Structure 1
Amino acid sequence: MTTPNLTKPSPTLVIIRGNSGSGKTTTAREVRRRFGRGAALLEQDYLRRTVLREHDITRIDPVAPTFITATARTALDLGYHVILEGILHTERYATVLHQLIDNHAGPVAVFYLDVTFDETVRRHLRRDEPMSFTPEHMRSWYTHRDLLDIPRETVIGETNTFEQTVTTILHASGLTTVAPQTPCPRRCPHCARKADRTTTVTEAS
């Protein structure tokens, strides 16, 4: 008699990178919103600027790269699908990102939002939330096609609409088909009631 494999599938790791103003944060938030509970959203700016209050420069031997990827690893180990977004410059983050990807047994999808500098400025100036930096700051940060150079990296150009970008990430990463693995969406009575309502609406339509 064959014993069934009861091991849970490994969660999905999604990395969304791009220059400031490329739309990665808004995109990542929408991807997580559409997935629902069971996916952890990790934003580089929040973890580095707010949690650590660390400047993003190499001269200080920054803690942020290790801290951010360790946080992602912990969330994955706890069963969360992870959506990690940020500029994540290869100069400082390539090594730790490659380690995170190579050491993850589950699905990995990496996306780079390839947007020209002029377009990043236009998008920056249209932000609903005012930002403390200027286009001059953005020019000093801008890096053309700062790819991780791995086989699983998908480049999304600026001609894609927001909806196309979100849809591409959801489908290419497999988040449209994987189930949440964390306790809240699997066992929480509130989540169960919400799922029942969604099923009822779907069946009635």
Structure 2
Amino acid sequence: MSNPTKVVSPTLVIIRGNSGSGKTTAAREARRRFGRGAALLEQDYLRRIILREHDSADIDPVAPAFITATARTALDLGYHVIVEGILHTQRYATVLHQLIGDHPGPAAVFYLDVSFDETVRRHLGRDEPIPVTPDEMRRWYTHRDLLDIPGETVIEETSTFEQTVTTILHASGLTTVVPQTPCPRRCPHCARKADQTTAATEVP
């Protein structure tokens, strides 16, 4: 009698840091390298575009609950999930701790620890800088705003882009897990692409 197939819970990855720390670019590249089967949830898009809500301590924001509920839904559907954003502990610590605590699978938390001056330099060097001033960035800046979770990985500003992405992929385990969602596992288009990749790497 064969053993039933073991269901493996997907991986949750949380990438945090101040504005201009490089977290968005690193998160996008990590997801690109993983491929289909990983969902990328960007705080700015969900809060600014979907909800059109200000990130303010003067209101009781909807975004923290909305972002973590979206992450939970994607995880339940079999997606590996990367959540990215400033995600200030003042407003997000409680819901992020709960999201991690409730998730039965592996979870990895990263914090890009970049000084204020370096965040401004990186911001001004973007191909398409977002319309914020250094003064606005200073008001948002919080020094080492860690979640204080066991195993939280702090990535220093001396880490190159390549080193940062590699650290995220390896420390989270995304380099070893496989997609669990239907498209990369079952769709004919993905199967053809996988066959083509295999054929291209075979030694004649």
Shift of 1:65: 0.2
Per-residue CA distance 1:10-42 (angstroms, 9 max, x = gap)? 000000000000000000000000000000000
The corresponding residue for 2:28 is: 29
Per the TM alignment, residue 201 of structure 1 is displaced from its structure 2 partner at its CA by 2.1
Amino acid at match of 1:112: Y
CA-atom RMSD, angstroms?
1.1
Count the aligned residue pairs: 204
SS at match of 1:14: strand
Supply the distance in 1 between the matched residues of 2:59 and 2:8 (Cα, whole angstroms). Answer: 39
Counterpart code for 1:119: E
**Residue 204 of structure 1 corresponds to which residue in structure 2?**
203
Residues 1-205 of structure 1: matches in 2 within 5 Å?
4-204=3-203
CA deviations 1:61-119 (Å, max 9, x no partner) are 00000000000000000000000000000000000000000000001000000000000
How far residue 204 of structure 1 moved from its aligned partner, in angstroms, is 2.8
Provide structure 2 residue ranges, at least 5 long, that are not aligned to the other structure.
Answer: none
- CA-CA distance at 1:158 after TM superposition: 0.5
* Runs of 4+ with deviation above 3 angstroms: none
The 10-residue stretch of structure 1 (7-16 or 32-41) with the greater mean CA deviation from structure 2 = 7-16
The letter of the residue matching 2:157 is E
8 Å contact from structure 1 (residues 108, 152) kept in 2: no
Unpaired runs of 5+ residues, structure 1, are none
Aligned equivalents of 2:19, 2:129: Cα separation in 1? 14
Task: State the secondary structure of the residue aligned to 2:111.
Answer: strand
Task: State the one-letter code of the partner of 1:55.
Answer: H
Q: Percent identity?
A: 81
| Per-residue deviation, 1:203 | 2.1
Which one is further off, 13-22 or 53-62? 53-62
Instruction: Give TM-score scaled by structure 1 length.
Output: 0.97
| TM-score, length basis structure 2 | 0.97
How far off its partner does 1:152 sit? 2.0
CA contact (8 A) 1:18 1:113 kept: yes
Query: Which AA in structure 2 matches 1:27?
Result: A
**Distance in 2 between the 1:46 and 1:104 partners?**
23
Question: 2: CA distance between counterparts of 1:65 and 1:199?
Answer: 42
